[in-house]
């Protein structure tokens, strides 16, 4: 065989190999950028496993996961968006939904869901909450965060108490008795990031009224009962019923404060159960419904988060595939177990994990709507995220350390929220 012919064959073989590599690269050219914002090492590890399963089932699609630290997630993500660095898929807390959906930045997932086989079992709550803005499905929730009261049985017994508090008066009495124990505190108070959810819950309970607004759009947070609820939380801190550094505590700190035995009570969602159950013996703690107020009712918060798609995504078809993969019934159940939410699909409550004793407090609230009225955030408000994660945290901390009165801060909150709600009502011709 002539040398030149051998060279030609070799060259052709090389070219063919190059084309094969190019074709292989082409298959991997579709990239989905995904941002998670409610982060922790276990949930990030788990979502990477779900992404790996998605990539295996969808050759040629790669997912780039960006994990933002939850404490700074609101500002960091807003900066990304303002800089034009938008993802295809984002984990969307309900209180951010209004900001991004109102500004036409999110894709309506409704049309994508029409051919989704798993839409048949999607619960009514998921459809309701996901379409809170303009009645369009700008988010597919992945689960619900419902507040209930963790209590430390050993610390209660040491303080001469045998049962969790059923009312806010009993709650304050338990705080007083347990805090009399050396080195112990009654309540794991959350004064830092994410604090407003618990604050508004106690303000609602003390006020005997659920929700954020009256029918005319005026906010309820500076009504006398609501102010008393805020003053009660300030008293807990000022009287030493909560650790001094709890003024800056976020989720991780309050959960650690409970499982370490530093404080005996914690109001939290099922996501806290995961870490607590790893650190404490099952017989040493329990979860009870939230205490009731003077009206005989309680108003636990019901929060949610989910997956949203940015409207400017260039890979919408594949981005929806990812959302659908993460939201399939079994995938959602497994996700709910890891992150501590109640699942979105009908029938998920029959899973043995959610039928266990650890969820009794939450399900008691769910079963008794006459006594426990759930309150959700007004996700339709465009600036709720800024209020919730910036203004409210600063104001609450100022009340705790005595820089401002509860009434002053409550008036500020009511003014801001009333203006937003009334503007929204006028825009939507309501009221």
* Residue range 239-258: mean pLDDT, rounded: 97
364-374 pLDDT tens trace: 887 788 899 99
Q: State percent of the chain over pLDDT 90.
A: 74
Q: Which has the minimum average pLDDT: 14-23, 292-301, 307-316? A: 14-23
Q: Is the pLDDT of residue 88 over 70?
A: yes
Q: Is the pLDDT of residue 5 over 50?
A: no
What does the block give as tokens for 285?
Answer: 């703690």
In this prediction, residue 2 carries a pLDDT of 45
| Confidence tier at 29 by pLDDT (50, 70, 90) | confident
30-145+304-357 with 148-299+368-427: one CATH topology? yes
SS3 287: strand
133-142 pLDDT tens trace: 999 999 999 9
Q: Is the pLDDT of residue 430 over 80?
A: no
Strands of 285-288's sheet, edge to edge?
Answer: 185-187, 263-268, 148-152, 285-288
In this prediction, residue 139 carries a pLDDT of 98
Domain 148-299+368-427 has CATH 3.40.190.10: yes
89-117 pLDDT tens trace: 999 999 899 999 988 899 999 999 999 99
What does the block give as tokens for 81?
Answer: 């968006």
CB 188 within 8 A of CB 259: no
Q: How far is CA 97 from CA 74, 79, 358, 416, 427, in A?
A: 12, 16, 31, 18, 17
In this prediction, residue 59 carries a pLDDT of 94
Taking alpha carbons only, the member of 408, 288, 345 closest to residue 142 is 345
Taking alpha carbons only, the member of 187, 223, 178, 185 closest to residue 205 is 223
What does the block give as tokens for 121?
Answer: 């079992």
What does the block give as tokens for 103?
Answer: 């500004």
CA 398 to chain centre: 24
What does the block give as tokens for 341?
Answer: 């939410």
| Confidence tier at 431 by pLDDT (50, 70, 90) | very low
CB 122 within 8 A of CB 344: yes
312-351 pLDDT tens trace: 999 999 999 999 999 999 999 999 998 888 889 988 878 8
Residue identified by tokens 């065989």 is: 1
Q: How far apart are CA 49 and CA 286, in angstroms?
A: 31
What does the block give as tokens for 10?
Answer: 């070799």
- Output the average pLDDT for the chain: 91
Residue identified by tokens 């500002």 is: 75
Fold entry, domain 30-145+304-357: D-Maltodextrin-Binding Protein; domain 2 (3.40.190)
Q: State percent of the chain over pLDDT 70.
A: 93
Residue identified by tokens 């949930």 is: 43
In this prediction, residue 95 carries a pLDDT of 87
Q: How far apart are CA 78 and CA 85, in angstroms?
A: 10
The ranges assigned to domains in the chain are 30-145+304-357, 148-299+368-427
In this prediction, residue 368 carries a pLDDT of 85
Q: How far apart are CA 285 and CA 295, in angstroms?
A: 28
């Amino acid at each position: 065989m002539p040398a030149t012919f051998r060279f030609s064959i070799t060259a052709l073989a090389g070219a063919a190999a190059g084309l094969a590599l190019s074709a292989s690269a082409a298959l991997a050219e579709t990239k989905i950028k995904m941002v998670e914002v409610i982060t922790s090492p276990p949930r990030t590890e788990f979502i990477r496993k779900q992404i790996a399963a998605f990539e295996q089932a969808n050759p040629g699609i790669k997912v780039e996961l960006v994990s933002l630290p939850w404490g700074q997630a609101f500002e960091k993500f807003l900066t990304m968006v303002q800089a034009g660095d938008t993802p295809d898929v984002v984990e969307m807390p309900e209180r951010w939904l209004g900001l991004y959906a109102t500004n036409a930045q999110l894709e309506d997932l409704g049309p994508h869901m029409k051919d989704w086989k798993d839409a048949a079992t999607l619960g009514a709550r998921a459809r309701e909450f996901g379409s809170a803005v303009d009645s369009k499905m700008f988010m597919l929730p992945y689960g619900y965060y419902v507040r209930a009261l963790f209590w430390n049985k050993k610390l209660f017994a040491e303080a001469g108490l045998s049962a969790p508090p059923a009312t806010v008066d009993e709650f304050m009495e338990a705080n007083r008795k347990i805090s009399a124990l050396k080195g112990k505190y009654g309540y794991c108070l959350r004064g830092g990031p994410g604090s407003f959810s618990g604050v508004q819950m106690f303000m609602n309970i003390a006020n005997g009224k659920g929700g954020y607004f009256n029918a005319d759009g005026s906010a309820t947070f500076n009504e006398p009962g609501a102010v008393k609820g805020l003053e009660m939380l300030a008293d807990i801190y000022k009287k030493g019923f909560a650790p001094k550094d709890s003024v800056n505590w976020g989720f991780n700190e309050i959960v650690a404060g409970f499982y370490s035995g530093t404080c005996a009570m914690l109001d939290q969602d099922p996501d806290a159960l995961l870490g607590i159950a790893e650190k404490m013996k099952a017989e040493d703690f329990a979860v009870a419904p939230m205490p009731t107020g003077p009206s005989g009712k309680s108003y636990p918060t019901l929060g949610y988060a989910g997956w949203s798609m940015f409207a400017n995504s260039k890979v919408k078809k594949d981005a929806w595939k990812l959302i659908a993969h993460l939201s399939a019934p079994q995938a959602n159940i497994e996700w709910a177990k890891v992150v501590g939410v109640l699942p979105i699909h009908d029938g998920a409550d029959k899973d043995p994990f959610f039928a266990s004793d650890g969820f009794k407090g939450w399900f008691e609230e769910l079963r008794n709507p006459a006594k426990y009225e759930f309150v959700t955030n007004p996700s339709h408000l465009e600036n709720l995220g800024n209020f919730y994660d910036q203004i409210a945290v600063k104001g609450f901390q100022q009340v705790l350390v005595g820089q401002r009165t509860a009434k002053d801060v409550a008036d500020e909150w009511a003014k801001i929220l009333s203006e937003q709600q009334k503007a929204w009502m006028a825009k939507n011709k309501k009221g």
